[in-house]
Amino acid sequence: MAAQAAITLSHVTKEFTGGVRVLDDINFTVSPGEFICIVGVSGCGKSTLLNIIAGLESASSGSVEVPSGRASVMFQDPSLMPWLTARQNVELALRLRGIGREERKAEALRLLDLVNLRDATEKLPHQLSGGMKQRVALARALAQDRAVLLMDEPFAALDAVTRDLLHDELERVWRETGRTIIFVTHNVREAARLGDRVVLMTARGGHIAHEWSVTVERPRQIEEPSVSTIAGSISGALRAELAKVHNV
């Protein structure tokens, strides 16, 4: 329990020019190998928080510690390089890490197999479905070999069937690779399905409103009663947050 935290946020505050405070004194720690979901309505600052942990934006004050170094990031848009095949896209991440040609190819094929894309390694992005593209993006993020993986609504644009299968896929990959994952979503059921811990952000003001520990045994199913119960309680808190906004 005393092991070093994978991510430590202390007093993180973010103000945009004009004095709009999107994050206000955020404190939390993430243990190595933990799967955290951050939930909140649009504009609550959850993506800003992720970008700050990723180092893409800087906090106005407070500190972010990621002892393992920089994190890898996945976005809602798979953002594959359209001129590279699935394998070459993964290899690009390896190449930017300075890995040699031979090793690069073997490693890319291994990672694509990990995300169940063994048959699509030589396909170009425009020949892949949305779910397949997002899995290539996952393989590319894993290729960076960083202990922390940040995901910003990665499955928001996918259909329900694909998303369901990707939840299983991500859970398995997470277990096999031992990554620490912070997963931002506005989908409450998705958060309850995936997270060890779910963090709800307030709708305005940039605080953490509530936290849930999800102890349901894995692998989980999204329609499991125990998952639904937690989703229901998160959903209730989310609505309460929204109600506060309307009362203002």
Partner 1 sequence: MSNPAAESDTRSLEHRLDALQAGPAAAKPRRLNWLSSVWPPVVAIAVLLLIWQSYCWIAQPRPDLYPSVIDVWSAIVANWQSGRLPMALGTSLSRGALGFVYAIILGTLVGFLLVEVPLLRRAFGPIISGLQVLPSVAWVPAAILWFGLSDATVYFVILMGAVPSIANGLIDGIRQVPAHIRRVGLVLGAGPVALHRFVLFPAALPGYLAGLRQGWAFAWRSLMAAEIIATGGKLGFGLGSLLQQNRELADLPGVLATVLTILLLGILIEVGVFTPIQRRVLQRRGLTEAR
For partner 1, the closer of residues 33 and 130 by Cβ is 130
Q: Tell me the C-alpha distance between 76 and 183, whole Å.
A: 11
The answer to the question of residue 138 lying near partner 1 (CB under 8 A) is: no
Strand-pairing partners, residue 184, are 38, 152
For partner 1, the closer of residues 91 and 241 by Cβ is 91
Figure out which of the listed residues 20, 96, 240, 243 binds partner 1, where binding follows CB under 8 A.
96
Tokens matching residue 223: 């329609």
The helix-helix angle for 160-177 and 130-143 (nearest 10°) equals 20
Tokens matching residue 56: 């893409």
The answer to the question of residue 124 lying near partner 1 (CB under 8 A) is: yes
Taken in order 71, 176, 212, 163, the sign of the CA dihedral is positive
The answer to the question of residue 210 lying near partner 1 (CB under 8 A) is: no
Figure out which of the listed residues 20, 61, 70, 211 binds partner 1, where binding follows CB under 8 A.
70
Of 12-20, 26-34, 37-45, 166-174, the window that binds partner 1 (rule: CB under 8 A) is: 166-174
Contact present, 139 and 115 (Cβ < 8 Å): yes
Nearest distance, CB of residue 127 and partner 1, angstroms: 6
The answer to the question of residue 58 lying near partner 1 (CB under 8 A) is: no
Tokens matching residue 24: 């206000």
Tokens matching residue 17: 């020019």
84: nearest Cα among 124, 115, 119, 141: 124
Figure out which of the listed residues 16, 27, 56, 243 binds partner 1, where binding follows CB under 8 A.
56
Binding residues (CB under 8 A) for partner 1: these are 54, 56, 70, 72-73, 75, 77, 79, 81-83, 92-93, 95-97, 116-117, 119-120, 123-132, 140, 144, 161-162, 165, 168-169, 172, 175, 217-219
